[in-house]
Copies of this chain bind each other. A is one copy, B any other.
Amino acid sequence: MSLVLDSAAQDLLFREARTVGSFSDEPVTEEQVQAIYDLVKYGPTAFNQTPLRITLVRSAEARERLVQHMAEGNKAKTAAAPLVAILSADNEFHEELPHLLPHFPQAKDVFFAERPVREQSALLNTALQAAYFIVGVRAAGLAAGPMTGADFAGLQKEFLDDDHTPLMVVNIGKPSDEPAAFGRAPRLEFDQVVTTV
Contacts and interface: CB of A to CB of B under 8 A. Distances in A.
Interface of A: 1-6, 8-10, 12-15, 17, 19, 29, 31-44, 46, 48, 50, 52-59, 62, 96, 99-103, 121, 123-124, 127-132, 134-135, 138-141, 144, 146, 148, 159, 167-168, 181-182, 184-188, 190, 192-197
Contacts of A34: 2, 190
Contact of A54 (B46, B57, B128, B193): B193
A48 B186 CA distance: 9
Contact of A1 (B35, B44, B130): B35
Taken together, the copies of this chain in the complex come to 2
Contact of A132 (B5, B52, B135): B135
B37 A194 contact: yes
A188 B39 CA distance: 12
A102 to B, nearest CB: 7
A194 B56 contact: yes
Nearest to A34: B190
B139 A101 contact: no
A2 B100 contact: no
Contact of A197 (B41, B139, B159): B159
Contacts of A56: 194-197
Contact of A193 (B5, B48, B52, B131): B52
A-B CB proximity, top 5 nearest: A127-B127, A131-B131, A4-B141, A2-B35, A5-B139
B197 A58 contact: yes
A185 B114 CA distance: 24
A195 B182 CA distance: 34
A195 to B, nearest CB: 5
16 contacts: A2-B36, A2-B140, A3-B35, A3-B140, A4-B12, A10-B39, A14-B39, A14-B43, A38-B190, A44-B144, A53-B194, A56-B197, A99-B186, A103-B185, A123-B127, A130-B131
